[in-house]
Amino acid sequence: MLTLLKLLQDGCFHSGQALGDALGVSRSAVWKQLQQLEADLGLPIYKVRGRGYRLQSPLSLLDRSILEREGCPWSHQIFNSLDSTNAETMRRLGAGAVPPFAVIAERQTEGRGRRGRRWVSPYAQNLYYSLALRVDGGARQLEGLSLVVGLAVLKTLRSFGLAEAGLKWPNDLLVGNRKIAGILLELLGDPADICHVVVGIGVNVNMQLATEDIDQPWTSMRTETGVLVDRNALVARLNEHLEDYLGRHKREGFAALRAEWEGAHLWQGRLVNLTAGTQSIQGRVMGIDATGALRLSVDGEERAYSGGELSLRLSDDS
């Protein structure tokens, strides 16, 4: 079935006879595989008499051999479908896999974002990527890590022509007020000593119409640029920038990257509402501190906030 999908990924019409010849099967067997593609992967397929079959829209399928030729800094495992790339990476670490390594999927059935939110993950449309890292020396080495990853993702997006992309504390990337990417970090092991961190990255790449409702405004690289993005080139570029920023973070600490992050923060100086559980705090964004905590001016007093359960929104007055 995946071989058939590779033949169709260009979005052009292919006759049933040509597809059958390429696969070494009958035209009726091709039709059955096409029906299975639609049912299993949710990919609409158009049939036009005299022209053949084509996908509703071209796809850019992931190819491990292409990534290996790009000289990746860590190994990759590419899956057709997973519950989530973070969950699979945690399982592999638990089974003794040695980081760094990356797990990528064409589709997630239980993709997750921060605060337990579901990450919509249609087949071969976006990037679902997790990187496993070993952290020595305790949780202090994790200070500002998600923000550093955000810088790497931002540089990747801008290199594909998304000049208006920017950061939103703590783990989102936006174009305007529309979300284009998010980051989810999860720990495994003893944060006071040696532990592993899974860096989950989701990027809306070629998605134009969501197959399911999304609970916030969103956009994608293709929507913004008008062109189909080569997801293998995207992964290669992301690897390059992750290696650079993670290396700088390890050598110099987050403080060395703080000014760069603040310069890319879209909500710098804006009036916001910070939600922590049932508590809502209104303040003006002053920036971040040397650990990556958010600095707010609240009633004329500077306060710092950090934690995985915080949610930040623009105030109606902003």
The answer on 130 and 96 residing in a single domain is yes
Contacts of 34 by beta carbon, 8 Å cutoff, 6+ apart: 4, 45, 53
Query: Do residue 190 and residue 84 come from a single domain?
Result: yes
Q: Show the tokens assigned to 101.
A: 């390594």
Verify that 182 and 273 share a domain, yes or no: no
- Provide the residue-wise pLDDT of the chain in tens; the chain has 318 residues: 788 999 999 999 999 999 999 999 998 999 999 998 888 888 889 999 889 999 988 999 999 889 888 888 999 999 999 999 999 999 999 999 999 999 999 999 887 655 456 667 789 999 999 999 998 876 677 889 999 999 999 999 999 999 999 999 999 999 998 999 999 999 988 777 888 999 999 999 999 876 556 667 899 999 999 999 999 999 999 999 999 999 999 999 999 999 999 999 999 999 999 998 788 999 999 999 999 999 999 999 999 998 767 889 998 754
Judge if 7 and 91 occupy the same domain.
no
* 200 known member of a binding site: no
Same domain, 189 and 92: yes
Q: Would the annotation count 113 as a binding residue?
A: yes
Q: Are 275 and 141 members of one domain?
A: no
| Burial (CB count within 10 angstroms: exposed 0-12, middle 13-18, buried 19+), residue 168 | buried
What CA–CA distance (Å, rounded) separates 74 from 235? Answer: 12
Are 94 and 229 part of one and the same domain? Answer: yes
Boundary-marking domain end, from 31, 55, 79 = 55
Residues 101/132, Cβ–Cβ less than 8 Å: yes
Active-site positions read 114, 179, 313
pLDDT value at residue 44: 87
What pLDDT is recorded for position 212? 59
Hey, is 14 helix, strand or coil? strand
Q: Tokens 């022209």: give the residue.
A: 51
Q: If phi over 0 gives left and psi between -120 and 50 gives alpha, with beta otherwise, what is residue 222?
A: alpha
Is the domain of 135 the same as that of 252?
A: yes
Contacts of 186 (CB under 8 A, 6+ apart): 86, 90, 197, 198, 200
pLDDT at 123: 92
Number of domains in the chain: 3
| Residue 108 and residue 209 in one domain | yes
Residue 86 marked as a ligand binder = yes
- Can you give the CATH number for the domain in which 19 is found? 1.10.10.10
| pLDDT at residue 276, as a whole number | 82
Same domain? For 35 and 81 the reply is: no
Q: Are residues 291 and 189 in the same domain?
A: no
Domain hosting 306: range is 267-314
Is 156 annotated as a binding-site member? no
Give this prediction's pTM: 0.91
Cα(188)–Cα(90) distance, integer angstroms: 7
* 117 vs 130: CA distance, rounded Å: 17
CATH number at residue 274: 2.30.30.100
Same structural domain, 181 and 291: no
